[in-house]
Amino acid sequence: MRGCGVVKYCGKCGAPLREGKSFCPQCGAEVRHPEPVAEPIAEPIPEPVAAPVAEQPSAPAAVKERRPRRGLRRLVTALIVLVLLGGLGAAGWYWGLPYIESLRPAGELPAVSYSYMSREPEIEIDYEAVDSIYPSLYNTTDYILLVRATSEGGERDVMIRAEVPGFTQVYEQKFTLGSQLTQFYIHPPVLTGELSLGSAKQAQIVFSVTDIDSGKPVIQDTLPIQIMSKFDMINYDPVLGVSSWDYYLSFLTPESPGVLELKRNAVDFITGYTGGQFDMMQGYQDSGLFGSNIELNTYYQALALQGAMSEMGVRYNNAWYSMSQSGDKMLQRVQLPDDTLSSKSGVCIETSLTIASALQSAGMNVFLIFPPGHAQVAVELWPNSGEYYLIETTILPVDGENVNSVVTYKTQQEWLDYIQNGYGDGSGGCYVLNCGLATALGLLPLTN
C-alpha cells in the first residue's frame, strides 16, 4: 500500500470518488473539496518532578504592529525643501545683485536715520521757593529753593545757580539729569561779614539753570522773598499745629563776645560776694571750699552770672511777649544774648537765654523752663545728680533783699509738681527744653 487515506463518496449517487477529481465518474456531479485544516500538534508531556506544580500556560506573545515612520519622512522632506529654497535664494542673489547695483547711483551706501534717535534730550524743570527767610532759623532750614528736574531722551549736564543778594553767597553746582525725576534742595551759605538784619526787608532769589552741553540757559528767573529780622522767630506753626518752643534753642550763643564778657564780670561779682574765696567760673569742678556740699560750686556760679548781668545794667522788661502776625504764622521778636546785654533790657525769655548761654559756656547741663506765659532756667546741681536749681532770671537788679530768691533748690517731688502745674492754680504745666539738644537738632545761631 502506498499509504492510508480517507475514501470519499459522491454525495449524489454514492459512488466512490478518486482523489483529486472534481466530478463523479458515475453520475458526473460536481465534487466540492473542503479547505484543509491544520491538524493540532501534540506537545510533549513533561517528565514528572518531585514536587509537581501546575503551571499556567503562558499567553501567546502579542504581535506588535509595525507602523510607518512618518516623522522621519517629514524631516527628510523639510530638509529637501530648505535646501531647494536656499539654492533658489542664492541663485536669485547671484543673478539679481548686478541688476540691483545697476539701478543705484554710484557712491556710498545711504545712511539710515531715525527721528527719535536724532532728537535732542528734553530738559523739564519745576521749582518753588519759600516766601520768607528767618535768619535765626536759617541753619535749620532745609532749603529756600526746591528744584525738580528730568531729562527725557538721554542724560544732560546742567549748572544750577542761586543766590539771595545781600544775604547769601552764590550757590553753584553741576548736576547730571536723567529720565528719573530728581529733587534738589538749594540752600546757599550766608555771606561773611556784618549783615544788616535789624529789621525785615524785601529781597530776591536769583535763580538760573544752564545746559552745559549747549551753553544755553534753560531757566532764568527772579523770585521775591522776604528776609525777616534776626530777632524774628516762629512762635506758632500752623503746619505743625503746636507752639514751636524748640526754636528758642537757635538763640543760644555760648561763645558770643557779650556772653564771654558776662562770664568775666561774674568772676568779679562772686569774688566780691565771697570775700575772695571763690574767684572763678570753673563749671563742674570742685573748688574745695564747700566740703561735701559740692553742689554749692554750681549755686554760686549761677548766682554770680545773675549778679553780673544786674551790674551790667540789664533790667527786666515787664512786658508781654512781642507777638505779631505774619500770614498764618504767629511770630515773636526775641533778642540774642549780646543784644540783651547791649540794650540793657530784656523780657523773660531774653534774660533766660542770656543766663543759659553763659552756663552752657561753663560746660553745665542747662534747661529752659516754660511755665504758662513765662521763661526760666534750670541747671543740674552736679553731673548725673538728677537734681536741679531753678533760676529766676527776671530778678533784676539783684540786691540784698532778693538775692536769696534768684537761685532756689527744689526736691524731685517739688520739680514734678512744678512741671505738672507750674503755678499751682491749674493754669497749666511747664514745657522743659534741654539746651544740650541744640546741636543734635541743628538749632544753632546764625553765624557768618
> Per the structure block, which three cell numbers stand in for 218?
534753560
Instruction: Please give the residue that has the higher pLDDT: either 146 or 14.
Output: 146
241 near 234, Cβ under 8 Å?
no
pLDDT at 2 over 50: no
In this predicted structure, which of 232-236, 324-328, 400-404, 430-434 has the lowest mean pLDDT? 324-328
Average pLDDT, the chain: 83
Q: What is the mean pLDDT of residues 399-428?
A: 93
Euclidean distance between CA atoms 447 and 191, whole angstroms? 9
> Per the structure block, which three cell numbers stand in for 370?
516754660
Q: At residue 426, what are phi and psi to the nearest 5 degrees?
A: 80, 10
Euclidean distance between CA atoms 283 and 303, whole angstroms? 13
Q: Give Cβ neighbours of residue 357 (< 8 Å, ≥ 6 apart).
A: 252, 253, 254, 256, 259, 337
pLDDT tens digits, one per residue of 75-130? 777 778 777 777 766 666 566 556 555 655 555 555 555 444 556 788 999 999 99
Euclidean distance between CA atoms 211 and 174, whole angstroms? 10
3-state DSSP helix/strand/coil % of the chain, to nearest 5: 30, 25, 45
Q: How does DSSP assign 7-58, residue by residue?
A: -EE-TTT--EE-TT-SB-TTT-PBPPPPPP-PPPPPPPPPPP-SS--PPPPP
In the block, which residue shows the cell 549736564? Answer: 157
Count CA atoms within 13 Å of residue 137 on its CB side. 23
155 near 121, Cβ under 8 Å?
yes
Q: What is the mean pLDDT of residues 17-21?
A: 70
Give me the pLDDT at residue 448, please: 56
Q: Cite the DSSP H helix spans in 50-123.
A: 70-103, 115-118
pLDDT at 283 over 80: yes
Give me the pLDDT at residue 55, please: 47
Q: What is the mean pLDDT of residues 309-333?
A: 79
Count CA atoms within 13 Å of residue 259 on its CB side. 21
Q: What is the mean pLDDT of residues 196-208?
A: 93
Q: Give Cβ neighbours of residue 386 (< 8 Å, ≥ 6 apart).
A: 380, 412
Residue 357's Cα: distance from chain center in Å? 35
Give me the pLDDT at residue 371, please: 95
pLDDT at 56 over 50: no
* CB atoms closer than 10 angstroms to residue 402: 13
Q: Give Cβ neighbours of residue 164 (< 8 Å, ≥ 6 apart).
A: 133, 144, 188, 203, 204, 205, 206, 225, 227
pLDDT at 260 over 70: yes
Rounded CA Rg of the chain = 55
Give me the pLDDT at residue 147, please: 97
In this predicted structure, which of 217-221, 400-404, 442-446 has the lowest mean pLDDT? 442-446
Instruction: Please give the residue that has the higher pLDDT: either 322 or 124.
Output: 124
pLDDT tens digits, one per residue of 129-175? 999 999 988 888 889 999 999 999 899 999 999 999 999 999 999 99
Quick one: which of 300, 272, 270 has its CA closest to 286?
300
Strand partners, 434: 367
Euclidean distance between CA atoms 147 and 161, whole angstroms? 11
pTM above 0.85, yes or no: no
pLDDT at 240 over 60: no
Give me the pLDDT at residue 103, please: 56
User: Residue 71's pLDDT band (boundaries 50, 70, 90)?
Assistant: low
8, 166, 339 from 233: Cα distances, Å:
142, 21, 15
pLDDT at 359 over 70: yes
264 near 348, Cβ under 8 Å?
no
Give me the pLDDT at residue 268, please: 95
